Structure 1
Amino acid sequence: MIQKSPYKFFLLTLLLIILDQSVKLAVHFYMAPGFAGQVKLAGDWLKLHYVLNPGMAFGMQLGHEYGKLLLSIFRLFAMVGIGYYLVMLAHRGAPNGLLWAMAMILAGAVGNVIDSSFYGVFLNNAPYGSPTPWFHGQVIDMVFVDIWEGFIPEWVPVWGGQYYSTPIFNIADSCIFIGVCSILFFQRRFFGEPPVEGSLLPITGPDATEASVLPAADFIDEADESHTDHTKEAETAAEDNQHPTPESVLPDESKRVE
Structure 2
Amino acid sequence: MPSRSSAAPGLTQWLLVAALIIVADQLTKILVIGAFQLGDVRPITGFFNLVRAHNYGAAFSFLHGASGWQRWFFLGLGLAAAAFITWMLRRHGHQKLFAWALTLILGGALGNVIDRAIHGYVVDFIQVHAGGWYFPAFNVADSAITIGAVMLIVDELRRVRRG
Classify the TM-score, shorter chain: 0.7 to 0.9
Unaligned 5+ segments in structure 2 are: none
In the alignment, which of 6, 11, 15 is matched to residue 20 of structure 2?
15
Q: TM-score, normalised by structure 1?
A: 0.56
Q: Is 1:48 paired with 2:53?
A: no
In 2, Cα distance between equivalents of 1:61 and 1:171: 21
Q: TM-score, normalised by structure 2?
A: 0.85
Contact 2:55-2:64 within 8 A present in 1 as well:
no
- Greater Rg by CA: 1
Higher helix share: 2
Q: Is 1:85 paired with 2:85?
A: no
1:14-163 alignment runs, 5 A limit: 14-34=19-39, 37-41=40-44, 43-61=45-63, 64-65=66-67, 66-90=69-93, 93-94=94-95, 96-119=96-119, 137-147=120-130, 149=132
Higher relative contact order (CA 8 A, sep 6+): 2
Unaligned 5+ segments in structure 1 are: 120-136, 151-164, 195-258
AA matched with 2:138: F
The aligned residue for residue 179 of structure 1 is 148
In 2, Cα distance between equivalents of 1:193 and 1:74: 33
Q: 1:79 to 1:148 in 2, by over 3 A?
A: farther
> What RMSD over aligned residues (CA atoms) do the two structures have, in Å?
2.1
In 2, Cα distance between equivalents of 1:112 and 1:13: 13
Q: 1:190 to 1:115 in 2, by over 3 A?
A: farther
Q: Percent identity among equivalent residues?
A: 27
Contact 2:56-2:64 within 8 A present in 1 as well:
no
In 2, Cα distance between equivalents of 1:78 and 1:167: 23
Q: 1:30 to 1:62 in 2, by over 3 A?
A: closer
